[in-house]
Amino acid sequence: MNTAAQIAKHLRDVHFGGNWTSVNLKDTLTDVTWQEAVMKVHSFNTIAVLVFHINYYISAVRKVLEGGPLEAKDALSFALPPITGPEEWEQLQEKTWADAEAFAILAGRLPDEQLDVLFVKEPYGNYYRNLQGIVEHTHYHLGQIVLIKKIVQSAEGLPDTV
Protein backbone atom coordinates (compact mmCIF):
# COMPACT_ATOMS: atom_id res chain seq x y z
CA MET A 1 0.00 0.00 0.00
CA ASN A 2 1.40 3.40 -0.92
CA THR A 3 1.76 6.29 1.52
CA ALA A 4 -1.26 8.20 0.19
CA ALA A 5 -3.43 5.11 0.63
CA GLN A 6 -2.13 4.76 4.20
CA ILE A 7 -3.07 8.35 4.96
CA ALA A 8 -6.54 7.74 3.48
CA LYS A 9 -6.89 4.68 5.71
CA HIS A 10 -5.90 6.69 8.79
CA LEU A 11 -8.49 9.34 7.92
CA ARG A 12 -11.20 6.68 7.60
CA ASP A 13 -10.03 5.05 10.84
CA VAL A 14 -10.26 8.25 12.90
CA HIS A 15 -13.72 8.91 11.48
CA PHE A 16 -15.22 5.43 11.35
CA GLY A 17 -13.10 3.13 13.52
CA GLY A 18 -10.13 0.82 13.31
CA ASN A 19 -7.40 3.21 14.40
CA TRP A 20 -4.67 2.46 16.90
CA THR A 21 -6.39 4.43 19.67
CA SER A 22 -9.71 2.55 19.28
CA VAL A 23 -11.57 5.90 19.43
CA ASN A 24 -13.32 7.37 16.42
CA LEU A 25 -15.54 10.29 15.66
CA LYS A 26 -18.63 8.42 14.47
CA ASP A 27 -18.87 6.10 17.49
CA THR A 28 -18.11 8.98 19.85
CA LEU A 29 -21.00 11.02 18.45
CA THR A 30 -23.50 8.15 18.26
CA ASP A 31 -25.19 8.93 21.59
CA VAL A 32 -24.67 12.71 21.59
CA THR A 33 -28.01 14.50 21.35
CA TRP A 34 -28.35 17.80 19.54
CA GLN A 35 -28.80 19.53 22.89
CA GLU A 36 -25.55 18.03 24.17
CA ALA A 37 -23.82 18.92 20.90
CA VAL A 38 -24.59 22.61 21.36
CA MET A 39 -24.19 22.78 25.14
CA LYS A 40 -21.56 25.33 26.13
CA VAL A 41 -19.06 24.14 28.73
CA HIS A 42 -16.87 26.80 30.33
CA SER A 43 -15.07 28.62 27.52
CA PHE A 44 -14.69 25.48 25.39
CA ASN A 45 -16.03 25.12 21.90
CA THR A 46 -19.17 23.01 21.70
CA ILE A 47 -19.10 19.49 20.31
CA ALA A 48 -21.04 20.66 17.26
CA VAL A 49 -18.60 23.51 16.61
CA LEU A 50 -15.66 21.10 16.82
CA VAL A 51 -17.31 18.68 14.38
CA PHE A 52 -17.95 21.59 12.02
CA HIS A 53 -14.35 22.78 12.43
CA ILE A 54 -12.88 19.34 11.70
CA ASN A 55 -15.00 19.01 8.60
CA TYR A 56 -14.36 22.57 7.45
CA TYR A 57 -10.74 21.75 6.65
CA ILE A 58 -11.52 18.32 5.24
CA SER A 59 -14.00 19.92 2.87
CA ALA A 60 -11.55 22.68 1.88
CA VAL A 61 -8.68 20.29 1.14
CA ARG A 62 -11.07 17.92 -0.62
CA LYS A 63 -11.89 20.70 -3.09
CA VAL A 64 -8.18 21.06 -3.88
CA LEU A 65 -7.92 17.30 -4.41
CA GLU A 66 -10.82 17.65 -6.87
CA GLY A 67 -8.84 20.27 -8.79
CA GLY A 68 -10.41 23.38 -7.29
CA PRO A 69 -8.89 26.30 -5.42
CA LEU A 70 -8.19 26.41 -1.70
CA GLU A 71 -10.87 28.73 -0.34
CA ALA A 72 -10.59 28.11 3.40
CA LYS A 73 -10.25 30.97 5.84
CA ASP A 74 -9.26 30.21 9.42
CA ALA A 75 -11.68 32.88 10.65
CA LEU A 76 -14.59 30.92 9.18
CA SER A 77 -13.56 27.50 10.43
CA PHE A 78 -15.59 27.80 13.63
CA ALA A 79 -18.59 29.59 12.03
CA LEU A 80 -21.17 26.87 12.56
CA PRO A 81 -24.69 27.90 11.56
CA PRO A 82 -27.12 27.55 14.49
CA ILE A 83 -28.29 24.06 15.35
CA THR A 84 -31.79 24.27 16.77
CA GLY A 85 -32.95 20.69 16.49
CA PRO A 86 -32.03 17.10 15.76
CA GLU A 87 -32.32 17.53 11.99
CA GLU A 88 -29.50 20.07 11.79
CA TRP A 89 -27.29 17.96 14.07
CA GLU A 90 -27.92 14.90 11.91
CA GLN A 91 -27.21 16.88 8.73
CA LEU A 92 -23.88 18.09 10.12
CA GLN A 93 -22.88 14.54 10.96
CA GLU A 94 -23.98 13.14 7.59
CA LYS A 95 -22.02 15.84 5.77
CA THR A 96 -19.00 15.05 7.93
CA TRP A 97 -19.14 11.32 7.10
CA ALA A 98 -19.69 11.93 3.38
CA ASP A 99 -16.89 14.50 3.12
CA ALA A 100 -14.47 12.29 5.04
CA GLU A 101 -15.13 9.34 2.76
CA ALA A 102 -14.86 11.44 -0.40
CA PHE A 103 -11.61 12.97 0.91
CA ALA A 104 -10.21 9.50 1.69
CA ILE A 105 -11.07 8.22 -1.79
CA LEU A 106 -9.37 11.18 -3.46
CA ALA A 107 -6.32 11.11 -1.18
CA GLY A 108 -5.92 7.37 -1.58
CA ARG A 109 -5.74 7.72 -5.35
CA LEU A 110 -2.78 10.10 -5.29
CA PRO A 111 0.52 8.69 -6.48
CA ASP A 112 3.22 8.91 -3.84
CA GLU A 113 5.17 11.34 -6.03
CA GLN A 114 2.34 13.86 -5.54
CA LEU A 115 2.97 13.91 -1.78
CA ASP A 116 6.20 15.87 -2.30
CA VAL A 117 4.53 18.46 -4.54
CA LEU A 118 3.80 21.95 -3.21
CA PHE A 119 0.24 22.20 -1.88
CA VAL A 120 -1.27 25.39 -3.33
CA LYS A 121 1.50 27.76 -2.13
CA GLU A 122 4.75 27.74 -0.19
CA PRO A 123 3.48 28.47 3.34
CA TYR A 124 1.30 25.34 3.23
CA GLY A 125 4.13 22.96 2.44
CA ASN A 126 3.59 19.82 0.42
CA TYR A 127 0.65 17.49 -0.09
CA TYR A 128 1.95 15.03 2.52
CA ARG A 129 2.02 17.71 5.21
CA ASN A 130 -1.55 18.73 4.45
CA LEU A 131 -3.04 15.26 4.16
CA GLN A 132 -1.29 13.97 7.27
CA GLY A 133 -2.13 17.24 9.02
CA ILE A 134 -5.83 16.61 8.41
CA VAL A 135 -5.54 13.26 10.21
CA GLU A 136 -3.61 14.82 13.11
CA HIS A 137 -6.07 17.72 13.32
CA THR A 138 -9.00 15.29 13.49
CA HIS A 139 -7.37 13.26 16.27
CA TYR A 140 -6.60 16.42 18.24
CA HIS A 141 -10.18 17.68 18.15
CA LEU A 142 -11.59 14.19 18.68
CA GLY A 143 -9.80 14.19 22.03
CA GLN A 144 -11.48 17.48 22.91
CA ILE A 145 -14.87 16.13 21.87
CA VAL A 146 -14.44 13.04 24.05
CA LEU A 147 -13.63 15.17 27.10
CA ILE A 148 -16.44 17.66 26.48
CA LYS A 149 -18.88 14.79 25.96
CA LYS A 150 -17.92 13.33 29.35
CA ILE A 151 -18.49 16.69 31.02
CA VAL A 152 -21.79 17.33 29.24
CA GLN A 153 -23.21 13.87 29.85
CA SER A 154 -22.17 13.82 33.50
CA ALA A 155 -23.69 17.27 34.04
CA GLU A 156 -27.14 16.60 32.59
CA GLY A 157 -29.85 17.47 35.02
CA LEU A 158 -27.42 19.21 37.35
CA PRO A 159 -27.99 22.98 37.22
CA ASP A 160 -25.04 25.35 37.08
CA THR A 161 -22.41 22.63 36.71
CA VAL A 162 -21.17 23.53 33.27
First and final CA of the chain: distance in angstroms? Answer: 46
pLDDT for the residue 54: 98
pLDDT tens across 69-87, in order? 999 999 999 999 999 999 9
pLDDT for the residue 158: 52
pLDDT for the residue 159: 52
pLDDT for the residue 155: 72
CATH architecture of 3-67+74-155: Up-down Bundle (1.20)
pLDDT for the residue 157: 53
Contacts of 27 (CB under 8 A, 6+ apart): 17
Side chain identity, residue 104: A
Comparing 160 with 126, which gets the higher pLDDT? 126
List the chain domain ranges: 3-67+74-155
Beta bridge partners of 118: 126
* pTM of the predicted model over 0.85: yes
pLDDT-based confidence at residue 161 (cuts at 50, 70, 90)? very low
| Pairwise CA distance, residues 150 & 124, whole Å | 35
pLDDT tens across 26-56, in order? 999 999 999 999 999 999 999 999 999 999 9
Where b means 16+ CB within 10 Å and e means fewer, 145-161 reads beebbeebeeeeeeeee
pLDDT tens across 9-34, in order? 999 999 999 988 899 999 999 999 99
Helix 3-16 with 127-155: angle, nearest 10 deg: 10
- For the chain, helix, strand, coil in percent to 5 are 65, 0, 35
pLDDT tens across 86-119, in order? 999 999 999 999 999 999 999 999 999 999 999 9
